[in-house]
Amino acid sequence: MPAMNHNFAKEDFISLIYTLQDDICKSLENEDGMATFEEDAWSRPEGGGGKTRVISSGAVFEKGGVNTSVVYGEVTDTMRTQLSIAGDKWFAAGISSVIHPYNPFVPTVHFNYRMFELYNNAGEVTDRWFGGGTDLTPYYINEADIKHFHSTLQQACESVVPGSYTSWKKQCDDYFVNYHRQQERRGVGGIFYDHLRSNEKHDTMRLLGLAKSCGEAFTSAYIPIVAAHKNDTFSAEQKYWQEIRRGRYTEFNLVHDRGTLFGLKTNGRTESILMSLPPTVRFVYNYQPKPNSAEDELLQVCLHPKDWVL
């Protein structure tokens, strides 16, 4: 695989995530109209660092982050055991975001695009893979919004990898699962892919293009939904329901999410990792929405994922 010996992949990917971070923060600030992102730059002793950008107490966004990190180091025993990684050195770069709006009619959204490289002792690239995804967590079902979100992502991934949407939509449904709650999904999904390597089907340029296309689609997938609902009126009961569902979000991230747990257990920067947790959360014993209510409609969709784009 001769392409592996060039480092354009790394450089292009880093440049991509920084551009995405700037553009996405700008479009979210613009939509919020009040709050701005504040940046914490951090570095880690073992190599590399990140730029954590957090927005809080906005007019629209109660809490959110758009973070990049570019980190590298020696392959440790933990990585060998927990990630089955064979190699001497590693490199990882990624952009990761979770946005929690205040209004329960505006969904929470998450995306993450990342790449990983392994090297032998001579510094040659021995492996490289890409992963990513974007998914939506509404508190109430609005079919038109969810269809818009899915079809925007479908177009973004299929314009680079034709025929990819159906399986990546399924991988997303299969990943964000609260297994301890009868396979309840965190939300209505989106797309999710992982461990994509250069091979006869994809070269590195194409995998970079995929991250670019999906990353750039975030704004057009999400911002119109925010714009349409940020001024919707809502009741205390609807806010309460949002906080109950945020509890499920918390449960998924802390109990099941591989990235969160790996970060927390390998001395990652805790505050950047847990930026994803919702600002206010409720845990109520055995809370059940009324059958056939709008709240139950959401729950049923989380229990039984639907096809939104046909």
Nearer to a copy of itself, 227 or 284 (CB): 284
Residues 122, 302 contacting (CB under 8 angstroms): no
Q: Is 265 in the site for a copy of itself (CB under 8 A)?
A: yes
Q: Is 282 in the site for a copy of itself (CB under 8 A)?
A: yes
- Sign of the CA dihedral 238, 243, 248, 252? positive
Question: What are the phi and psi torsion angles at 46 (to 5°)?
Answer: -75, -10
Kindly indicate which of the ranges 79-87, 128-136, 229-237, 272-280 contains the residues binding a copy of itself, using the contact rule CB under 8 A. 272-280
Residues 92, 71 contacting (CB under 8 angstroms): yes
Least gap, CB of 210 to a copy of itself (angstroms): 30
Kindly indicate which of the ranges 27-35, 165-173, 277-285, 297-305 contains the residues binding a copy of itself, using the contact rule CB under 8 A. 277-285
Please, what is the Cα angle at 93 between 152 and 111, to 5 degrees? 30
Residue listed under structure tokens 């980190």: 71
Q: Is 239 in the site for a copy of itself (CB under 8 A)?
A: no
Kindly indicate which of the ranges 121-129, 195-203, 230-238, 280-288 contains the residues binding a copy of itself, using the contact rule CB under 8 A. 280-288
Least gap, CB of 57 to a copy of itself (angstroms): 10
Kindly indicate which of the ranges 135-143, 148-156, 213-221, 273-281 contains the residues binding a copy of itself, using the contact rule CB under 8 A. 273-281
Q: Is 110 a catalytic residue?
A: yes
Count of residues near a copy of itself by CB under 8 A: 31
Burial of 13-45, coded b for 16+ CB within 10 Å and e otherwise, reads beebbeebbeebbebbbebbeebebeeeeeeee
C-alpha to C-alpha distance for 1 and 198, rounded to whole angstroms: 8
Nearer to a copy of itself, 54 or 85 (CB): 54
C-alpha to C-alpha distance for 108 and 96, rounded to whole angstroms: 14
Binders of a copy of itself among 140-159, rule CB under 8 A?
none
Residues 94, 118 contacting (CB under 8 angstroms): no
| List 6, 100, 110, 304, catalytic entry | 110
Q: Supply the angle between the helices 165-175 and 143-158 in degrees, to the nearest 10.
A: 120
Q: Is 209 in the site for a copy of itself (CB under 8 A)?
A: no
188 HSE (CA, 13 A, CB side): 27
Nearer to a copy of itself, 38 or 88 (CB): 38
Nearer to a copy of itself, 42 or 234 (CB): 42
Select from 11, 174, 271, 296 the one that contacts a copy of itself (CB under 8 A). Answer: 271
Q: Is 161 in the site for a copy of itself (CB under 8 A)?
A: no
C-alpha to C-alpha distance for 93 and 48, rounded to whole angstroms: 10
Select from 254, 259, 262, 300 the one that contacts a copy of itself (CB under 8 A). Answer: 254
- Alpha helices by DSSP H, 33-85: 77-83
Question: Which are the catalytic amino acids?
Answer: 110
Binding residues for a copy of itself, rule: CB under 8 A, are 40, 54, 56, 63, 65, 179-181, 243, 247, 250-251, 254-255, 261, 264-265, 270-271, 274-275, 277-286
